[in-house]
Amino acid sequence: MAPLSSPLAPIEAARNLLERISTPALLLVAVSGGSDSTGLLLALHEVLRVSGRDDVQLHAVTIDHALRPEAADEAQAVQSLCRGLNIPHDILRWNDKKPRTGISAAARLARYRLIGEVAETISATAIVVGHTLDDQRETIAMRSQRSAQAGMPGLSGMADAVLYNARHWVLRPFLSVRREDIRDYLAAKGQGWFDDPSNEDDTYERVRVRKLSRDAEPPSREPLLDRTELASRAAAFVSGAVQAYPGGLIKLSADCLGDDPAVIRYALTALTCVAGGRAYPLAAESMDRVMAFVTAREPGRLTAGRVIFDRRKDGLYLMRENRDVPTITVAPGETARWDERFEIVNHSLAPVTVSGGAVAHGEDTTLTTVPAGVLKRAKLSQPRVTPEGAGQGEADLRSITMRPLLAPYDLFLPRFDLDLANAIALSLGRGVYPQLPLQSLW
């Protein structure tokens, strides 16, 4: 397989991004003080300075996770560097109580949340981060260890662009740049960096994989291209096969269930996450079981990933199973997430309770085509809104807004899946996600 790409010099990678970014642009560069992000900031600054361009501006942000005492001094050092480059810079500190387990994942979510706040404040065109070719190699190695199936989509590695919180594009222009070359670039400029001691701590999976994969071959471009093409075909499948009903019920047309199994599997994996309110896909073994059920073309029901798959003559119905469906209270003027499937906005003057149960569908004529058994079962897990303390009475739905959520995509949407996510969003009656702020991909 062909290499992902020949390794690029830091300046070349920075130039590739700046030649493609839609202008005028304000790029928010996340800089930790480590070699990768410091090299990214300096390379972008150098390309803009040498070219004399003024249609792209840089703004930097550093997140102090408050996990190491020296982190505050490192953030101040980054601020001094930015001051010398005449680049605006913000320091934000993660002051929340730290979890006892899963600290890396929690820190990552906090980091993106804080960076996103700055991006929102300054109306950034995009966020730029310093993930490298080395990071990509490690990511693919970790995912390979977790999956015995060589064709799994995750083996394509990190996307070169990810949409965060359905609002901010995060760009990774250094995915074709080796860390060694970044450090050589910084050394040539007389610029130092900070090494995080956690990068050598074998407690973390990535560190263990890094030490084992330092001499591994560069990742291949083929899985990346395969996933992009597969996602595009899955998007076309969803556009032609999927019909969504009120309350989260999804139908796949029987005529389309004989299509390419790889395409159906990719689309169905995402649809299962949406129907079940799950951010992460089913394990490969569970999806194998679902696909065996789907391709058998026999009527019946199967439950997996909080989703009931109900096969009828006219198609395959997906609905949230009636188990562990939450009950929440939404105060007047408040916005809340319910079951990771709906965003509820209470425009009324009184609190409302949102629970599972039959939802009022009004005069929706599309439901007349749904088998009675499917509709009865689907209603058990659909959102029911009642005024607080009002027994079983329904609230005035005109004062309540319910917006479908796409659990696998609303927080992090890899560029691979943009067309597929848009196809699902449109089928659910939602608007499409923001487009990449690039004139072409690098």
Residue 33 annotated as binding site: yes
**6 assigned binding-site residue:** no
User: 408-431, pLDDT tens digit by residue?
Assistant: 999 999 999 999 999 999 999 999
What are the tens digits of pLDDT across the range 204-220?
A: 454 455 545 555 555 55
The verdict on whether residue 35 carries a ligand-binding annotation is yes
Percentages of the chain per state (helix, strand, coil), in multiples of 5: 45, 20, 35
- Segment 277-299 shows an average pLDDT of 94
Residue-wise pLDDT for 351-386, tens only, equals: 999 999 865 545 566 678 899 999 999 999 999 998
34 labeled part of a ligand binding site: yes
Is 222's pLDDT higher than 80? Answer: no
36 annotated as ligand-binding:
yes
End-to-end Cα distance, the chain: 20
Longest Cα pair distance anywhere in the chain, in angstroms?
72
Q: What is the pLDDT of residue 183?
A: 98
Token pair recorded at residue 143:
């995912």
d(CA 255, CA 319): 20
Claim: this prediction has a pTM higher than 0.85: yes
∠ at Cα 269 (412, 303), nearest 5°? 125
* CA dihedral over 387, 392, 398, 402, signed as positive or negative: positive
Q: Which domains does the chain have, with CATH numbers?
A: 10-219 (3.40.50.620), 328-404 (no CATH)
Q: At which residue do the structure tokens 């009865």 appear?
A: 376
CA gap 135, 236 in Å, rounded: 32
CA gap 380, 357 in Å, rounded: 5
Q: Using 50, 70 and 90 to split pLDDT, how confident is the model at 396?
A: low
Q: What tokens appear for 346 in the block?
A: 């209470």
